[in-house]
Structure 1
């Protein structure tokens, strides 16, 4: 029986495979981080189905969210399939569909408004505009690079991700603010949001800048991360138009079931719905 030890070369080859498969940079980074965490936990031991199962149990014992555990298992299962180690793949944690959002992670409209106000008060105009751009268009944080001067001038951006191309419209008011910002920074073409060195803003940088706003804005850090701005857009859009199919297209979802996750009601709203049933005398 072959003893399977994960090598640096195998992990690097897996990263190359993910790139060829056109996985987003953020996805590749997350997968490799999870794989490295597993390798560290193995501490030189061989990869076996029992080891993978033990690691899954360890993550659950650490009270990791089932979705977090499943994301890590997805990274490993993908690696094992790539290596031909199918017998090492393990099942995901079964999760019952949630009825409402976790209030500790629910970014409300007042929370969003406070974050924007705090960014402006602190002179972080770029961050304020990045948050507005994500929240008013529904783009992923990895897609803001498609907000170029040319796209804003046309009023629409062509986004290519995960082998799909979709067009998003840019709200008129946002377009004016983006062009004004570009002019102020002497950006005549290409990406609007850049670092001081002229490089694209990374997901991690935006995440860190948003977290630093929390204390000043008076918003719980658990609610503040870029993807939650996309959830805010989805909630506002659905409440206004009640068209989940179109919303799925705008968000770039292949399945409406994915979009439904974005539209979970809050715990407080679910409680009001139960109370209105009037089933207790």
Structure 2
């Protein structure tokens, strides 16, 4: 095998490639973070199957979750494909399909209502409406920028992400609230949710603002992050209509298998299902 060296120039070139491929900014950031972590661990050594396997073992020894390890390996494998280093690919951990959600990370409707109420009580109307917008439409936090005044006036937003375009309908009640908010903010065009300086809200800023609500609500911080609002939308939609194919289209998933992950029952609900079997005398 060639003496493969992972240089800053090669990592930067891969970053530019991901941008050209129109990967989501959050995805690019996550991939490059894993790659830089791997490069730091290498400390100048060559990339081989053995060093990749060693890094993988190191992550497991740090008690990283299987999904976290596989996400890091996916980032490396993408880099190796880009560089033509086919012999360096890492094997993913084999993980049995989960049957239920981790209760420590599950956001239920009651907790969601507490977060919205707390945001309003604290005068953080923008945050309350932002959370309602994500939860009522199922959009990703990276897609918030597509909620513009023009989209609200039309009642639909065109989401362009990952090389795909999908149309999101905006519920009437939400549209009225968004228009009222835009009028109050003297917003005459463009994005609805902006910083005080007129810039787009970043994923990190939205995440941080949501986390601050935890101390006022008693909701565990592990349950509070933007993507959980999307999960709550998926659960509510499926319970109401039982149409997983349409839900997959609404969420922008390429396969129904991805959507199934969003519909895992809670551990408590799974326990009730087992109890109802009545197989213990």
TM range (shorter): over 0.9
- Alignment of structure 1 residues 211-230 onto 2, 5 Å: 211-230=211-230
- Map of 1:47-62 to 2, 5 A cutoff? 47-62=47-62
Q: Distance in 2 between the 1:64 and 1:230 partners?
A: 24
TM-score, structure 2 length as denominator? 0.98
| In structure 2, C-alpha distance between the alignment counterparts of 1:91 and 1:266, rounded to whole Å | 30
The residue aligned with 2:276 is 276
Distance in 1 (CA, whole Å) between partners of 2:39 and 2:124 is 39
What SS does structure 2 have at the residue aligned with 1:123? coil
- How many Å apart are 1:3 and its aligned residue? 2.5
Correspondence 1:1-281 to 2 at 5 A: 2-281=2-281
Moved over 4 A (4+): none
SS in 1 for 2:166: strand
Distance 1:161 1:29 in 2: 16
Aligned CA RMSD, in angstroms, stands at: 0.9
Q: Secondary structure at the match of 1:168?
A: strand
Q: Secondary structure in 2 aligned to 1:40?
A: helix
Q: Deviations over 1:14-47 (max 9, x none)?
A: 0111011111111111111111111111122221
Whole-angstrom distance in 2 between the partners of 1:87 and 1:123: 56
**In structure 2, C-alpha distance between the alignment counterparts of 1:152 and 1:47, rounded to whole Å:** 50
**Cα deviation, residue 213, structure 1:** 1.2
- Deviation string 1:92-150 (CA, Å, 9 cap, x unpaired) is 11110000000011111111111111111111111111110000000000001000000
Aligned residues: 281
> Partners in 2 of 1:92 and 1:210 — Cα distance?
33
